[in-house]
Structure 1
Amino acid sequence: MRNPVKGLVMAATSALAFCVGGGPAFAADATQADAGTLSDGGKVTAVTLKAANCVSATILTFGATLWKLEAPDRDGKVADVLLAYDKLSDFEKTPNYWGATIGRYGNRIADGKFTLDGKTYQLPQNNNGQSLHGGGKGFDVQNWKLDSIKSGKVATAVFSLVSPDGDSGYPGTVKTKATYSLDESGNLQIVFDATTDKPTVLNMTNHAIFNMAGEGSERDAMTNVLTIPASKYTPVSKVLIPTGELRSVEGTPFDFRKGKPVSVGLRDGNDQQIVYGRGFDHNFALDKGQTKTPELAARLEDPVSGRVLELLTTEPGVQFYSGNFLDGTYIGKQGHLYRMGDGIALEPQKFPDSPNHANFPSTRVDPGKPYRHVMIYRVTTSPR
Structure 2
Amino acid sequence: MARIETIGEIDGTKVQALTLEGAGLRLQVLTWGARLAELWVPDRGGQLADIVLGQDNLADWQTHGTYLGATCGRYANRIAGGRFTLDGKPVQLDRNEGANTLHGGRAGFDLKHWAVTDHSDAHVTFTATSPDQEMGFPGTLQARVTYRLDRGLVIEMQATTDAPTVVNLVNHAYFNLAGQGSGDILGHALQVEAAHYLPVDAALIPTGEVRRVAGTAFDFRTPRPIGQTLPGDGGFDHNLCLSAPQDSAFLRPCLTATDPASGRRMRLSTTEPGVQLYTGAHFAGGPGKAGARYPRFAGFAAETQRFPDSPNQPQFPPARLDPGQVYSHVMRFDFTPAPA
Smaller-chain TM-score range? over 0.9
Aligned length: 339
Q: TM-score, normalised by structure 1?
A: 0.86
Post-superposition CA distance 1:289-308 (Å, at most 9, x none): 43212111111110111101
Of 222, 231, 253, which aligns to 1:296?
A: 253
> Bigger CA drift: 364-373 or 91-100?
91-100
Q: Do 1:33 and 1:45's aligned partners in 2 also have CA atoms closer than 8 Å?
A: yes
Report which stretch shifted further, 71-80 or 277-286: 277-286
Q: Which amino acid aligns with 2:134?
A: D
Cα distance in structure 2, aligned partners of 1:324 and 1:217: 16
Aligned AA for 1:82? V
Give me the whole-angstrom Cα distance separating, in 2, the residues matched to 1:57 and 1:118. Answer: 44
Q: Partner amino acid for 1:71?
A: V
Which residue is 2:326 aligned to? 370
**What SS does the aligned partner of 1:231 have?**
strand
SS at match of 1:34: strand
Give 1:360's aligned residue: 316
Query: What are the ranges of 5 or more consecutive residues in structure 1 without an aligned counterpart?
Result: 1-28, 267-273
TM alignment of 1:79-118, pairs within 5 A: 79-118=49-88
Q: 1:64 to 1:101 in 2, by over 3 A?
A: same
* Percentage of matched positions with identical amino acids: 47
Alignment of 1:1-384 (within 5 A): 30-38=2-10, 40-53=11-24, 55-151=25-121, 155-183=122-150, 185=151, 187-218=152-183, 220-266=184-230, 274-275=231-232, 278-290=234-246, 291-328=248-285, 330-384=286-340
2:54/2:65 contact within 8 Å kept: no
**Deviations 1:168-222 (CA, angstroms, capped at 9, x unpaired):** 0000000010011102x2x11111111000000000010000110111124x211
Give a deviation string over 1:266-307, Cα, whole Å, max 9, x none.
1xxxxxxx23x7111100000014321211111111011110
- Measure how far apart 1:315 and its partner are: 0.2
CA contact (8 A) 2:84 2:90 kept: yes
Partner deviation per Cα, 1:352-383 (whole Å, 9 max, x = no partner): 00000010000000000111111112122112
Q: TM-score, normalised by structure 2?
A: 0.97
- Name the amino acid aligned to 1:63: G
Q: What one-letter code is carried by the residue in structure 1 that aligns with 2:172?
A: H
1:130 Cα deviation after fit: 1.1
Q: Distance in 1 between matches of 2:80 and 2:129?
A: 25
Secondary structure of the 1:253 match is: coil
Partners of 2:17 and 2:245 lie apart in 1 by 34
**Structure 1 residue 120: Cα displacement:** 1.0
Decide which moves more: 367-376 or 336-345. 336-345
Counterparts of 1:355 and 1:49, CA distance in 2: 37
Shift of 1:334: 1.3
Deviation at 1:88, TM superposition (A): 0.7
User: Amino acid of the residue matched to residue 292 of structure 1?
Assistant: A
